[in-house]
């Protein structure tokens, strides 16, 4: 309830914008998070990712990113999220985090964790980093198969243990990113145990097959959860996730309704009834400086190296695209789904009254659900 009150502004603005498209421009929520993809290079080769399959492009210099972060702060952004590829491969990323916190922005990271050691954790803490999300979808050999990193599990396990200790001693808020896909329908227990032993909550990601990072054939044919054949297994996974949350409140970062959304999503990734609110709050910038908006599927709307950020954000083409994102005139992806459902008023009400299963669309008893 406390969380809902804190986000009431975004919830109400989004609801009004969704209900009355003619007032969308004045009602839409404002940006707050700059997401910088510092590099498209990666030291993992995850089965569902496109980035490592492609030739990595150019990267911007740290001085350019400093300017962009400053411009974002002056435009009203309050936090900066470093991601990639693997952001820890970018030389100067810790200094960029320190720079960000020094000018009043809150820095955060999403990483595969393979490069996190004691020194890295120390740099996170000294740099005023708020949160670090580590990708973990399974443990042991299955982790190494999915992330395609032979011998990699002990490294990520060590990273999680170090972050768990840091969580107690410092303000750092580490968490695990668990991707729901066919390969992980039965791997949650191991992740839950490791996360629990170290006091890290788990955030859910759902496999994506349309954004520029994940639009590979295998994500449609091999890793996608079949909405009829695998549906019962998916519901069981969501039940397991919901019980983990009940047993240890705070152990899963997922609004109740997110579990129902996850099940429906694999049958219809657009889920048009739920606006893409997260695309209005965050702004991705590609490693080459392309301003992508809050969506990784619609391409770039300007080059940050040659135009000021404010100019690009005020451009007619950008504003048109932003509107399309909110109303989901898109192929649909899962990016920000948990944020979307936890800020969508009808979902919150339905969840409070009837529970998460109420959000599962096309859920027939023939599936034994």
* Interaction of residue 135 with ligand SF4, rule CB under 6 A: yes
Output 116 or 330, the one with its CB closest to ligand SF4. 330
Residue with tokens 């191991």: 190
Q: Kindly state the smallest distance separating residue 32's Cβ from ligand SF4, in Å.
A: 16
Q: Kindly state the smallest distance separating residue 365's Cβ from ligand SF4, in Å.
A: 30
Binds ligand SF4 (CB under 6 A): choice among 17, 18, 44, 283: 44
Q: Kindly state the smallest distance separating residue 270's Cβ from ligand SF4, in Å.
A: 7
Output 325 or 348, the one with its CB closest to ligand SF4. 325
Inter-residue contact 354 to 259 (CB < 8 Å): no
* Interaction of residue 209 with ligand SF4, rule CB under 6 A: no
Q: How far apart are CA 254 and CA 342, in angstroms?
A: 8
* Interaction of residue 276 with ligand SF4, rule CB under 6 A: yes
Tokens at 137, concatenated:
């979808």
* Interaction of residue 68 with ligand SF4, rule CB under 6 A: no
Taking CA atoms, 145 is separated from 136, 214, 318, 341, in Å, by 12, 17, 40, 31
Q: What are phi and psi of 80, to 5 degrees?
A: -130, 130
Q: Report the SS3 class of residue 100.
A: helix
Residue with tokens 């705070």: 250
Q: What are phi and psi of 363, to 5 degrees?
A: -90, 100
User: Cβ contacts of residue 127 below 8 Å, gap of 6+?
Assistant: 94, 95, 97, 98, 101, 107
Select from 17-25, 37-45, 90-98, 154-162 the region that touches ligand SF4 (CB under 6 A): 37-45
Q: Report the SS3 class of residue 206.
A: strand
Select from 55-63, 80-88, 137-145, 224-232 the region that touches ligand SF4 (CB under 6 A): 80-88
Binds ligand SF4 (CB under 6 A): choice among 42, 194, 234, 252: 42
Q: Kindly state the smallest distance separating residue 26's Cβ from ligand SF4, in Å.
A: 20
Site residues, ligand SF4 (CB under 6 A) = 42, 44-46, 49, 51-52, 84-86, 112, 135, 210, 276, 279, 295, 297, 325, 328, 330-333, 335
């Amino acid at each position: 309830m406390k969380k809902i009150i804190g986000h009431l502004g975004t919830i109400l603005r989004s609801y009004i914008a969704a209900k009355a498209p003619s007032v969308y421009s004045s009602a839409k929520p404002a940006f707050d998070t700059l997401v910088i993809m510092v590099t498209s290079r990666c030291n993992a080769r995850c089965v569902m990712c496109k980035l490592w399959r492609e030739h990595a492009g150019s990267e911007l210099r740290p001085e350019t990113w400093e300017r962009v972060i400053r411009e974002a702060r002056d435009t009203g952004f309050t936090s900066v999220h470093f991601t990639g590829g693997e952001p820890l491969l970018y030389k100067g990323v810790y200094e960029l985090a320190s720079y960000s916190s020094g000018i009043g922005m809150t820095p955060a990271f999403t990483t595969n964790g393979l490069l996190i050691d004691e020194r890295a954790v120390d740099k996170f803490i000294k740099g005023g980093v708020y949160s670090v999300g580590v990708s973990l979808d399974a443990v042991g050999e299955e982790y190494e198969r999915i992330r395609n990193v032979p011998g990699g599990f002990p490294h990520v396990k060590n990273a999680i243990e170090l972050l768990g200790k840091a969580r107690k001693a410092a303000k750092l808020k580490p968490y695990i990113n668990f991707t729901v896909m066919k390969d992980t329908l039965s791997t949650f227990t191991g992740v839950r145990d490791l996360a629990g032993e170290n006091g890290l909550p788990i955030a859910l990601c759902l496999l994506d097959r349309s954004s520029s990072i994940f639009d590979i054939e295998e994500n449609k044919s091999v890793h996608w959860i079949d909405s009829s054949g695998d549906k019962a297994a998916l519901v069981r996974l969501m039940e397991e996730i919901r019980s983990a949350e009940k047993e240890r409140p705070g152990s899963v970062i997922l609004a109740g309704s997110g579990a129902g959304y996850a099940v429906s999503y694999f049958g219809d990734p657009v889920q048009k009834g739920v606006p893409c609110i997260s695309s209005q709050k965050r702004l991705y910038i590609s490693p080459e400086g392309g301003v992508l908006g809050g969506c990784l599927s619609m391409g770039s709307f300007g080059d940050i190296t040659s135009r000021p950020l404010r100019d690009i954000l005020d451009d007619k083409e950008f504003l048109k695209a932003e509107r399309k994102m909110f109303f989901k005139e898109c192929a649909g992806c899962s990016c920000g789904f948990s944020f979307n459902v936890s800020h969508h008023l009808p979902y919150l009400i339905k969840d409070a009254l009837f529970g998460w299963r109420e959000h599962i669309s096309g859920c027939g008893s023939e599936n034994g659900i």
